Structure 1
Amino acid sequence: MSASSYLTVKALTKYIKRKFDADPHLRDVYVKGELSNVKIHSSGHIYFTLKDDASRIQATMFRTQATKLSFKPEEGMMVYIRGDVNVYETSGSYQLYAQTMEPDGIGGLFVAFNQLKESLQKEGLFNPNFKQPIPQFPKTVGVLTATTGAAIRDICTTINRRYPQAEIQIYPTLVQGTGAAANIAKNIKLANVHAQCDVLIVGRGGGSIEDLWAFNEEIVARAIFESRIPIISAVGHETDTTIADFVADLRAPTPTAAAELAVPNQQELFQRILASQTSLHQIMTAQLRFERNRLTKYKQSYPLATPERLYRPFTERLAQTEMQLQQAVQVYMMKRRSELDKLAANIKLYSPAQTIRLHQQKRTQLQNQLTSVMHHHLAQEKARLVANIRTLAALNPLTMMEKGFSVTYHNESIVKQASQLTTGDTVQIRYQDGLVSATVTNIELQQKGE
């Protein structure tokens, strides 16, 4: 058989793929199985294996279909899949391309609800430590709901009936359908930017889980958690529970109940004020009666009946203290008079004239001492000068020349050794009384040691 008769792997794979494409039983198939080796790629595609007790098949769900899932596929989950079976040419293997996926036994929305609830709970979004207190007397109540439903009517009616002093700020909001979650989160952030409300009521009336699903979206949960304004969640009826209920600062079973939790009842406040006034009046009356009885009792007591006996000891002590004070003043005055006499004597002793006389005597004494010291110092310096003059006279070259010594110059330099001259040099010889020029005719050098 010639080489041209052999198929390439690519050609064979394409042929098999065309067979798969032509088979109507491999299109729009419904398969039930267990998810295994689930990998959610960063591109958004989902790669997994679908298996049962006997077999397994590789499967892929592309991003376009994966973004429509209401839950996150996980390892071991039983699912129902609708899709097509075809050949992946690169590996030459067949696989299932999933179009839709639903969990087995329970709805996909319920799975998504539990998955998001578990994830946010791990992050701490349900932690009671992050819950903000609801203000007791709000000035402005913000309401985020649809303007056409019964919820807005029930909330406004309840607030106006219970606490008409509060202003109601309505943020018209989509609470159902496409874009509802994003609109709820946007209005929560907008209310925080306006910063006019003291508390926010976020919710809607009852409905199916699909109708309430916007309040189970992660974007709404995070907007509620990040709100600086306390939020009351009021979604559906008392039996309905959403993710928003777990994250909110306070959960109300119904919109009407949310309005009751947001504002106080002014009638109850009036009753409490009246009760407090009555109680305060009774307490003050009883206290006045008690104090009046005490005053009457004190007035009738023995000490107050004869008050002079109370202060008599103090009067006697005061008189005694006055006598002691007078004696102390007399002693002090005598002492001060003695000190003044001594001071007068000292002033007389150290009068200005006496002080001048003493300083003049001291000045004369210091002048005499200074004159004596100067004479002694001049005598010492004169003796030192005479000694120095004698020393200089002894070292004077002219004095040496008087004894017959002379100084020889050559080229204006003193000749200290005969080796500095050569025969024929002209030298100048300095004597005491003049200068002589001479020519060197003979030089005899003396050997060392001779």
Structure 2
Amino acid sequence: MVIRRASEAPPAATPSQPEIPTVSQFTRQLREVLEVGFPEVLVQGEISGWNRAASGHTYFTLKDAGASLGCVLWRGRQLRHAIRDGMSVVAGGRITLYEPRGQYQLDCTTLFPLGQGALAMAFEAMKARLLAEGLFDPEWKKPLPEFPKTIGLVTSRDGAALRDILTTLRRRMPLVNVMLYPTLVQGGAAAAEIARGIRTLNAVGGIDVMIVGRGGGSAEDLWAFNEEAVARAIFESEIPVISAVGHETDFTIADFVADLRAPTPTAAAELAVRDKLELLEYVEGIAQQMGDQVSVLIRSHQRELQALLRSRGFSRPADLIRTHEQRLDELTGRANRGLRGHLRSQSEGLRLMQASLQALNPANVLRRGYAIVERDGVPQTGIAQLPAGTEVAITMADGTRSAVIGE
């Protein structure tokens, strides 16, 4: 090491002596070393100086008893938890260097309370691994069928999610068939059951679209839908899968793998089927389109006839005109008969559909003397479900009464 007085000029560089870097050059080199050496880190500590700037970026310090680390959370990063000073957290991101001050800092990409750190770290690790394998790629997403006949459900038999889905399907498209594979939706055995349900419905066949999900809950309650077994079963499914886990703010690994993510079970049912009124409008649109095509065909032949009438060189113009007039009449009659036949067929189909809808209307069934027996809001279908002493609600055509099942 050579020590010089501040007043002494530095020695001139020689071919054998390397050039001394400037502060900017040295800082840039140091930044590259830090970013390469610490591309992804997790650090725990206490939040201090939490400050959201006018630019939308958030600056804070992560500290413990012996040290502190400056952190920045860039605008656009979404946090799932409210953060405040004094909170113990786990921060994830990469170490970089702010060159104007020569200060290293954490470029923060994830931030969550320390108490939820283990689950959050496991979630991020699973998400990163499956993302790298390509399970989330858009190219694997299957389109939903426009008019499904049968919908498969993988969810709890007793959960609110099932009731919400069935209620929505009955309201929008009562004629659709439903096949339920009941499973656990939380706990240690849930993930394996959910994966088995997805594969079983694929093996059964005849299912056009599948809804996999449950109602809301804590991160621990929803964890089965973050398991690798469920993710791979969804990815391997030949049936398009709609994920419907929790509420709109809940995201699971299943949501990223599924062909379509619904914010709630009710929304999943709405995405799976069209409303019956939309279907009727679709049929009417097809009929209108066919009528327009026939009109275009007629106008085309009329133009051909007019062109022939204006042409010269025909030895028998009157006979030629009569021939084409007869041909036009034949084509017009054929087109009109075809259109009327198609419209009759469509009208009959609509009439049958309307009759089916009326037959399925619970109000009409109740008017014939039948009743609906519900226990805790769930319709009961057999006496085995109603032991003595069970409180039930009996709905008839003109109202509802409470009752208790006797011996």
Higher RCO, Cα 8 Å, sep 6+: 2
For the pair shown, the structure with the greater C-alpha radius of gyration is: 1
Q: TM-score, normalised by structure 1?
A: 0.44
**Larger helix share, 1 or 2:** 1
Q: TM-score, normalised by structure 2?
A: 0.48
